[in-house]
């Protein structure tokens, strides 16, 4: 049973404040890709979607004159660290199982090559999946962070993603 839905996260004030810096469209797209990969890899699609949606919630503002400044980002970025903590706190406050929140937070922590912190041993399947999903939506020089989406459209995409996850989990439980 899912304790926290993707829509619950997206519409929370924490996401509404921090996700625009990372790009709401990018965050949702990575969550969608993460569910596709989860289905292929046998990973929990709910965890994959949550980690995908929240993977860049730790981003600062790396825009200069309305454009993404990749050099500034490369020199000053610690978003995986900030994002893992922020996402963990948000999920626990929303009622997520603490062990699930921890697993998702570690997937966020290890999703980016810009992070100097590395996992001990190999990445878990969820950690690898989030990195692949993020790479799957990347645009040159960080421009994927600047794509715009209407809020109503963002909420509808996330509702559709929640329905898809429910269907996938129901099919798994029947098998």
Confidence at 16, pLDDT banded by 50, 70, 90: very high
How many Cβ atoms from other residues are within 10 Å of residue 36's Cβ?
Answer: 16
What's the mean pLDDT in 110-128?
A: 74
Domain edges within the chain: 6-174
Q: What is the dihedral sign for C-alpha 22, 25, 26, 27?
A: positive
Please give the CATH architecture assigned to the domain spanning 6-174: Orthogonal Bundle (1.10)
Residue range 122-168, pLDDT digits in tens: 889 999 999 999 989 887 766 776 688 999 999 999 999 999 999 99
The DSSP letter of residue 119 is -
Residue range 25-72, pLDDT digits in tens: 999 999 999 999 999 999 999 999 999 999 989 777 777 787 777 777
What pLDDT is recorded for position 117? 65
pTM for this model (two decimals): 0.88
Phi-psi bin for 97: left (phi > 0), alpha (psi -120 to 50), beta?
beta
Q: Encode 34-76 in three state secondary structure.
A: HHHHHHHHCCCHHHHHHHHHHCCCCCCCCEECCEECHHHHHHH
148 CB-near residues (< 8 Å, 6+ apart): 25
Cα–Cα separations (whole angstroms), residue 93 to 14, 88, 122: 11, 9, 30
């Amino acid at each position: 049973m899912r304790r926290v839905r993707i829509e619950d996260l997206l519409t929370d004030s924490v996401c509404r404040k921090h996700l625009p810096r990372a790009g709401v469209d990018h965050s949702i797209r990575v969550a969608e890709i993460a569910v596709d990969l989860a289905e292929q890899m046998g990973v929990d699609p709910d965890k994959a979607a949550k980690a995908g949606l929240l993977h860049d919630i730790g981003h600062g503002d790396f825009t200069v004159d309305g454009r993404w400044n990749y050099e500034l980002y490369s020199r000053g970025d610690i978003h995986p660290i900030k994002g893992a903590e922020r996402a963990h706190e948000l999920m626990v406050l929303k009622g997520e199982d603490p062990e699930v929140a921890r697993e998702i937070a570690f997937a966020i922590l290890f999703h980016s090559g810009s992070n100097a912190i590395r996992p001990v041993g190999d990445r878990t399947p969820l950690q690898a999946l989030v990195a692949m999903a993020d790479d799957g939506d990347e645009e040159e020089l960080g421009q994927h962070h600047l794509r715009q989406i209407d809020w109503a459209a963002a909420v509808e995409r996330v509702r559709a993603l929640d329905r898809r996850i429910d269907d996938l989990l129901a099919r798994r439980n029947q098998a």
